[in-house]
Amino acid sequence: MSNVLYKERSHVERFFNKIKHFRRVATRFEKYAANDLLMINSAAMPIWLRVNEAVA
């Protein structure tokens, strides 16, 4: 596997590990896929903000 693919895979795996800390996403309480996607987006926002606050 190339170094670029390994690095990208690592980013994705770390993101999913961070998402699992949000209980509602980890336990999958949602009945509909649209609600599930909304919960994933809601959990990803603080992660994204934390990563990008140093840039601004």
Domain range list for the chain: 3-52
Does the pTM surpass 0.75? The reply is no
Residue 56: pLDDT band (50, 70, 90) is low
**pLDDT tens, 1-54?**
688 898 899 988 998 888 888 877 777 777 888 888 888 888 889 888 888 886
Tell me the three state secondary structure of residue 30: coil
Q: Are 47 and 18 in contact (CB under 8 A)?
A: yes
What pLDDT does 52 receive?
81
